[in-house]
């Protein structure tokens, strides 16, 4: 193993020990080292890093910037080992990271997505996606957390789900409504659950009895969005699977406003429920909801007795 390969292994190990998964970064850095090896280069230079980052012809400047940023992190690690390694300057290939505008689903749209899942092949696949979409909608958990659930993470007796594979390695427990508990219990007891399913610990399984793959779930969800007739609201606001999480967060705070509760206390609980280490992440989930702004304005107006 070359010194660069060993350095990459050490770099990824340290970062992953801190909770970073670095799945995409690991693949890209492996490609970058192959690029260096093909050219007989044994250290990282700014020139080579730039050339590799801009390899995808026709790619967006944001993607180039992202590729260079990944190399920059590794190069910083290398420079501490070998001062001859160069670190690309921060000003190179600047690219604005534009976050997508959340697509907030109405209850009717979520019901429509669950209904059109009936068009999927095999009754078990129908039940799997109806259960998965329903669980995401009523808990706001991340897609990766949901498909990473094991059967043992579901405690039907106490109405709880334990998330043990959360972001940054964090774990938490989510209390469930009794109707959600009943739905999950029914899904696990289906007679058409694959015979090979006992070989996996997964809660949600494919028709082949294996754990669901993220890419396949995304692909199927896009099919359901099309069949349900859900259209983009703008070029930057399209129906995404992750937006079920946004929608859950907004509905939770909306309910607090409508019932006159302590929304600040509810926001703190919501942040914990969603698994956010930093509450500012939760505020982002609520930033694109006109309904929230309207209700907040009404409460402020009421506080000042109608006087602006």
| Catalytic machinery residues | 142, 167, 242, 245, 276, 285
Tokens of 270: 């919501």
First to last CA, the chain: 70
> What secondary structure letter does DSSP report for 160?
E
Q: Beta strand pairing status for 160-163 and 172-175?
A: antiparallel
Q: How far is CA 172 from CA 3, 56, 142, 223, 278, in A?
A: 39, 40, 13, 31, 15
- Nearest one of 14, 10, 56, 13 to 31, comparing CA atoms: 56
Task: Quote the DSSP letter at residue 202.
Answer: B
- Please answer whether residues 26 and 73 qualify as being in contact, where contact means their C-beta atoms are separated by less than 8 angstroms: no
Is 218 within 8 Å of 255 (Cβ atoms)? no
Give the helix/strand (H/E) hosting 181: helix 178-188
Tokens of 106: 């109405």
Tokens 């896009």 belong to residue: 222
- Tokens for 161, please give them: 């789900």
Nearest to 33 by CA among 43, 46, 23: 43
Q: Which of 247, 257, 256 is nearest to 298 (CA)?
A: 257
Phi/psi of residue 237, each to 5°?
A: -135, 90
Cα separation, 107 vs 95, in Å, equals 36
Tokens of 248: 């859950």
């Amino acid at each position: 193993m070359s010194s660069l390969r060993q350095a990459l292994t050490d770099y990824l190990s340290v970062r992953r020990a801190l909770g970073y998964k670095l799945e995409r970064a690991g693949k890209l850095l492996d490609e970058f080292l192959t690029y260096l090896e093909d050219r007989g280069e044994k250290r990282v230079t700014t020139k080579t890093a730039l050339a590799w980052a801009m390899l995808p012809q026709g790619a967006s400047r944001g993607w180039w910037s992202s590729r260079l940023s990944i190399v920059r992190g590794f190069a910083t690690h290398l420079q501490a080992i070998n001062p001859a390694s160069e670190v690309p300057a921060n000003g190179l290939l600047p690219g604005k990271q534009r976050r997508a505008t959340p697509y907030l689903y109405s209850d009717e749209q979520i019901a429509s997505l669950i209904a059109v899942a009936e068009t999927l092949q095999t009754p078990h696949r129908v039940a799997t996606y109806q259960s998965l979409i329903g669980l995401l909608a009523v808990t706001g958990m991340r897609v990766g957390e949901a498909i990473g659930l094991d059967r043992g993470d579901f405690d039907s007796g106490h109405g709880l789900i334990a998330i043990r594979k959360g972001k940054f390695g964090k774990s938490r427990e989510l209390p469930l409504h009794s109707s959600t508990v009943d739905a999950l219990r029914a899904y696990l007891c289906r007679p058409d659950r694959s015979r090979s399913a006992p070989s996996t610990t997964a809660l949600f399984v494919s028709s082949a009895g294996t754990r669901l793959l993220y890419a396949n779930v995304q692909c199927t969800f896009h099919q359901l969005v099309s069949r349900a007739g859900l259209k983009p609201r703008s070029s930057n606001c399209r129906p995404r699977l992750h937006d079920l999480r946004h929608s859950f967060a907004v509905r939770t705070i909306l309910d607090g406003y409508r019932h006159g509760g302590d929304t600040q206390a509810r926001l703190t609980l919501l942040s914990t429920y969603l698994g956010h280490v930093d509450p500012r992440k939760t505020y982002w989930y609520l930033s694109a909801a006109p309904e929230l702004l309207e209700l907040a304005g009404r409460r402020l107006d009421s506080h000042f007795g109608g006087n602006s």
